[in-house]
Structure 1
Amino acid sequence: MKLKKTSAVLAGLASVTLLAACSKQNDSQNKTKQVLNWTESTAIATQDPSLATDTTSFNTLLNTQEGLYRLDKKQNPKPALAVKTKISQGGKVYDFTLRKNAKWSNGQPVTAKDFVYAHRRTVNPKTKASMAFYLYQIKNAKEINLGQKAVNTLGVKAISKYHLQITLTRPVSYFKRLLAFPLFFPQNKQAVAKYGDKYGTQAKYLVFNGPYRLTKWTGSNKKWTLVKNKTYWDQKKVHLTKINELVTESTTTSYNLYQAKETDETLLTGSQVKANQQNAAYHQRKASALSRLELNQNKVKAFTNLKIRRAISLAINRNSLTNNILQDGSTPAKGFVPSGMGYNPKTKQAFQDEAYDKSAVSYNLKKAKQLWQEGLKEEGISSLTVTLSASDTDSAKKVAAFLQSSLAKLPGLNVEVQTIPYTQLITKQGKKDYEMTLKNWQAILADPINFLDIFEKDSSYNNSGYNDNEFDRLLDEAENKYGNQPQKRWERLVAAEKVLMATQGTIPLYQVAKPQLLRTSVKNVLYNPTGCPYDFKTASISK
């Protein structure tokens, strides 16, 4: 008995000690101002989930909205609004039981109808959602988007208020990961109807169901604030009260602000990387983003000539671009699909290595000049003047200047550079209003299809005029015939990449690196190299 009493006393003392330690930790966190000051390289283009296309817009949506799943620190999908998921019919039917304590910031509950409305709105051709093709795995989505079927035939149903059912055209192994991306989040019908064309254009024309609310965004300004959403169902895990965001196109500006302790984070380029690699705050972020040079065959007839496209690619020294110009850890592209997109199911070889076509991304100025002259002769022209459109960020301007200088070595080619704000650039690109442009593509999931399918004939992102029947056939077989046979699917994806490169459907430049300084006092910012890079839900500031 005495032993039991002694054990009980010791256990009690241990509990008191543990509680005291926890109390001190909580007190420390409570006493520290929970405000994060963050920088962005581009402004928000829109907060309409159906119309968003850029990383900044999607990243804001990730932190102000909530979907069925949310990715954890290992990028695995974890239940968010879905508390239970049942998969049937060989992986084609998903039944979700929704949590009943989720609310919109206008006080309405989040229900299955909000998902039905959102998905129907995105695939409705009247919405003109350029990323609607991501929903094509859903029954009838493609036919609806192409105007061939009615919107109400979409395979998304509200069985009851908190029972959502999604029927796919085929099994999709990565479907849960897609559901963690903002394009698949619910939308509040009342808010969309209330604000009409203004919906998603300013903070005041929005409602939220995620960890934060967006404030101080006027639609065109370069400063905004995320504030803790007190109606969020999981608000106990949200520690930050505010996230102040500032757009700084120049890393020199953001770096100086960081050094002056006015911001908690900054991206780095060139000499800044070298100077900070031993800094405890330094992070060499890997990104599944690839930068490419796009030639608009719809605008410039000469670009329909393969020899001319190949000559332009061969005139670019990608090693010099990454090592001497960018100097930030970016690596020369081995193809359109970057590293980190998967491995051969049998051999475990990385996709970018197996699909590598050296001739499509190598530097050979002598061969470039030969093909260039042959291409000009075939087109019946002796020279060509084109405009290269790029964003006004530091890195984009450096790359544009490098390309201008490199391509000037092709006799008769004159490249004029036009730099404009990023939001204006993506609008021009979407309208096919460019001759030559710099584009970045950021994957939303780690699978080669996430890159390759943008060059399919019917893709809304295929605005350069590229079209190849063999490429389309291979992708169709990979997704619709061999979706449940990983090896055969893989082989067709590899073959499709090789076709894209052999026909120089695009000119890959480099895989993007995002080296960053993040104060050591900032904890639990979840970084995702694919999709939306930063999740602030559980972030906090410590002493």
Structure 2
Amino acid sequence: MKKLLVFLIAVLTLSTILAGCSGGEKTSSGDAKDAKDVKQEMVVNAKTEPPAIDPAKATDTTSGWILDHIFEGLYTRDKEGNPVLGAAKDVKISEDGKTYTFTLREDAKWSDGSPVTASDFEYAWKRVLNPETGSAFAFYLYYIKGAEDYNKGKGSEGDVAIKAEDDHTFVVELNSPLGYFDSLLTLWTFDPVKKDLVEGNKNWSADANNYVSNGPFKMTKWEHDNQVIIEKNTEYYAKDEVNLDKVTFKMVGEATTYYQMFKTKEFDLVITLPTDVIDAERKNDEYLEVPYYGTYMYMFNTEKEPFNNQKVRKAFAMAIDRETLAKNVSKAGETPAYSMVPLGAETPEGDFRKVGGDYIEENYDEAKKLLEEGMKEEGWATLPEVTLMYNTDENHKKIAEAVQEMIKVNLGVNIKLNNQEWATYLDTTKQHNYQMARMGWIGVFVDPVVNLDYYLGDSPNNRTGWVNEEFDRIMAESKVEQDPEKRFQLLHDAEEILMTDLPFMPVYHYTNNYLVSQNFEDIAYYVNRYPALKWAKKVSQ
């Protein structure tokens, strides 16, 4: 019931990048009044080295987890995950819904004590859009007038309709009204950065030395491949809300190891338990499951054999048993995925997923038939050799091995497995140097548009080589459609095109599982972010 309650809260708030649930908050039986006598430090496991602690360049959940604690945008989130004003104290929206005028807080400061200004936001957003930056999340700014043309080299920086009118006034003009603009602005891509810092050192974000940010914490140490340490930012305007003096993000990737480290109290919070302990840990008061608004999948490289053929892609997608993968292999409470968009996005007609239904049927005989037809179309006497890639992780390995066996039994195809460390893996897939590869995509807020955006033809995140002009056209149309029913119908139409061509194979929709020390309270759990520690408090040793 606790898991269901958390999910329902998330659906009803339907708000944000973190449309969240505080219903899953862990509290301690200790007396909070004694917290002042307790050393306010926490050690959590990030599992991997964050590829980029830079708001313009981060695309992954590990980097995002740290960025969410050391930076703050015009909007931030409350404990329930709802968007609330952050570095801005006020916003006025024009009658046509296109122009936002933000007034920044007078007490918004960088961690070095200097003021955060509207120019810092203008510089940061234009830096994201600058083609030379190479931001994979630049498309999130395309709602702004002139932004897309500048990012694609068709316009100039001066055409981008964002402007710092003075130190505290920041004006943004959109192409059309956007009902979820406040939620969008909680994404780290919209955080400010300090111009003199960034331009004074091209490697400014790779080291904690001289690193400056404006969030509730500041980064004080980065020992690569070992740990990132953040400490309370005493210049933060709401520093009194921050209880922890120090948070250490360790990087232990082997699940059994970090599980044991939690048991020996070396970790206060771990994410993604080893599959063989989950059933037993569900009885533990320190165990928690929270729905996670995203999809675990295997991408197909449509530019490489054999996945240049749609029938071969569909055959692979029909040949795995998702129920078994979710319940018997992963075991973390995930939902088998027969689509891209998960449950949780409410529409006028009901939940988007329930209205749209399933798109994939698991039918092994039909899969074999499709495989034969695809091979015949390509003139292959035998199927080209296939390698499935995944990023190094014990649970990813188990799922990949199970998929490998299912493909062998149900399709008669032997596939090889290969794994790489996360940062290397991201670069390899970005270069399209793979055939079939694991990926996950979490919605930056709870709306089908952010799930489907992944497969836009010009999205840097789409690493499949798949481009469908009709899909792109419908997605673009959905972003300016003001009628909710028509907008969601367009998104259904786009998903149908995606699930017909199948440049990927959905496996399951996520659930996050945690072990959290009962020495802590006021941790906020969101449906599309890792836990927020801004309010966390240690109440006992």
Does the pair score TM above 0.5? yes
- Cα 1:338–1:26 change in 2 (3 A) is closer
Q: Does 1:248 find its partner at 2:248? A: no
The CA distance in 1 between the partners of 2:315 and 2:199, in whole Å, is 51
Asked if the contact 2:193–2:213 (Cα under 8 Å) also holds between the matched residues in 1, the reply is no
Q: Does 1:290 find its partner at 2:295? A: yes
Shift of 1:79: 1.3
Asked if the contact 1:383–1:411 (Cα under 8 Å) also holds between the matched residues in 2, the reply is no
Q: How does 1:98-177 map to 2 (within 5 A)?
A: 98-177=104-183
Q: Does 1:517 find its partner at 2:520? A: no
SS at match of 2:474: helix
SS at match of 2:346: coil
Question: 2:84 is matched with which residue?
Answer: 78
Asked if the contact 1:51–1:131 (Cα under 8 Å) also holds between the matched residues in 2, the reply is yes
- Cα 1:150–1:25 change in 2 (3 A) is same
Shift of 1:26: 7.4
The CA distance in 1 between the partners of 2:340 and 2:453, in whole Å, is 11
Question: 1:380 is matched with which residue?
Answer: 379
SS at match of 1:125: coil
Moved more, 157-166 or 25-34: 25-34
Shift of 1:58: 0.9
Q: How does 1:226-305 map to 2 (within 5 A)?
A: 226-267=230-271, 268-298=273-303, 300-305=304-309
Bigger Rg, structure 1 or 2: 1
Question: 1:426 is matched with which residue?
Answer: 426
Shift of 1:457: 1.6
Shift of 1:147: 0.3
For each residue in 1:65-97, what CA deviation from the matched residue of structure 2 results, as whole angstroms up to 9, or x when unmatched? 111111112221111111111000421100011
Q: How does 1:501-512 map to 2 (within 5 A)?
A: 501-512=499-510
Which amino acid counterpart does residue 179 of structure 2 have in structure 1?
S
Asked if the contact 1:68–1:82 (Cα under 8 Å) also holds between the matched residues in 2, the reply is yes
Asked if the contact 1:67–1:180 (Cα under 8 Å) also holds between the matched residues in 2, the reply is yes
What TM-score, normalized by structure 2, do the two folds share? 0.91
Shift of 1:40: 1.8
Asked if the contact 1:357–1:498 (Cα under 8 Å) also holds between the matched residues in 2, the reply is no
Shift of 1:370: 0.9
The CA distance in 1 between the partners of 2:412 and 2:56, in whole Å, is 43
The CA distance in 1 between the partners of 2:411 and 2:242, in whole Å, is 59
Question: 1:417 is matched with which residue?
Answer: 417
Moved more, 200-209 or 286-295: 200-209
Question: 1:190 is matched with which residue?
Answer: 196
Question: 1:353 is matched with which residue?
Answer: 354
The CA distance in 2 between the partners of 1:35 and 1:420, in whole Å, is 32
Shift of 1:25: 7.0
SS at match of 2:289: strand
Which amino acid counterpart does residue 527 of structure 1 have in structure 2?
Y
Which residue among 492, 495, 500 is the counterpart of 1:494?
Answer: 492
For each residue in 1:207-254, what CA deviation from the matched residue of structure 2 results, as whole angstroms up to 9, or x when unmatched? 111111113214x32212111112222111111111122122222112
Question: 1:368 is matched with which residue?
Answer: 367
In angstroms, what is the RMSD of aligned CA positions?
Answer: 1.6
Q: Does 1:332 find its partner at 2:336? A: yes
Which residue among 43, 46, 49 is the counterpart of 2:49?
Answer: 43
The CA distance in 2 between the partners of 1:364 and 1:199, in whole Å, is 52
Shift of 1:410: 6.0
SS at match of 1:407: helix
The CA distance in 1 between the partners of 2:264 and 2:65, in whole Å, is 26
Question: 2:530 is matched with which residue?
Answer: 533
Q: Does 1:542 find its partner at 2:539? A: yes
Which residue among 210, 213, 216 is the counterpart of 1:211?
Answer: 216
Which amino acid counterpart does residue 193 of structure 1 have in structure 2?
E
What TM-score, normalized by structure 1, do the two folds share? 0.91
Question: 1:17 is matched with which residue?
Answer: none
Shift of 1:126: 0.7
SS at match of 1:207: coil
Shift of 1:536: 1.3
Which amino acid counterpart does residue 497 of structure 2 have in structure 1?
V
The CA distance in 2 between the partners of 1:369 and 1:521, in whole Å, is 54
SS at match of 2:307: helix
SS at match of 1:490: helix
Which is helix-richer, 1 or 2? Answer: 1
The CA distance in 2 between the partners of 1:473 and 1:232, in whole Å, is 43
Which of structures 1 and 2 has the larger relative contact order (alpha carbons within 8 angstroms, sep 6+)? 2
Which amino acid counterpart does residue 190 of structure 1 have in structure 2?
D
SS at match of 1:271: helix
Which amino acid counterpart does residue 285 of structure 1 have in structure 2?
V
For each residue in 1:170-199, what CA deviation from the matched residue of structure 2 results, as whole angstroms up to 9, or x when unmatched? 111111011111110111001101111x12
Alignment length (residue pairs): 509
Which amino acid counterpart does residue 201 of structure 1 have in structure 2?
A
The CA distance in 1 between the partners of 2:407 and 2:245, in whole Å, is 50
The CA distance in 1 between the partners of 2:155 and 2:455, in whole Å, is 24
The CA distance in 1 between the partners of 2:308 and 2:137, in whole Å, is 26
The CA distance in 1 between the partners of 2:257 and 2:343, in whole Å, is 30
For each residue in 1:474-530, what CA deviation from the matched residue of structure 2 results, as whole angstroms up to 9, or x when unmatched? 2122112x1x11010011111111111122232111112211111222111111112
SS at match of 1:427: helix
Q: How does 1:462-501 map to 2 (within 5 A)?
A: 462-480=462-480, 482=481, 484-501=482-499
Asked if the contact 1:339–1:351 (Cα under 8 Å) also holds between the matched residues in 2, the reply is yes
The CA distance in 2 between the partners of 1:259 and 1:331, in whole Å, is 28
Asked if the contact 1:269–1:515 (Cα under 8 Å) also holds between the matched residues in 2, the reply is no
For each residue in 1:323-378, what CA deviation from the matched residue of structure 2 results, as whole angstroms up to 9, or x when unmatched? 111111112103011111x2231x22x111222234x2x32111111111111111
Which amino acid counterpart does residue 158 of structure 2 have in structure 1?
N
Identity rate, percent: 32
Asked if the contact 1:50–1:131 (Cα under 8 Å) also holds between the matched residues in 2, the reply is yes
Question: 1:12 is matched with which residue?
Answer: none
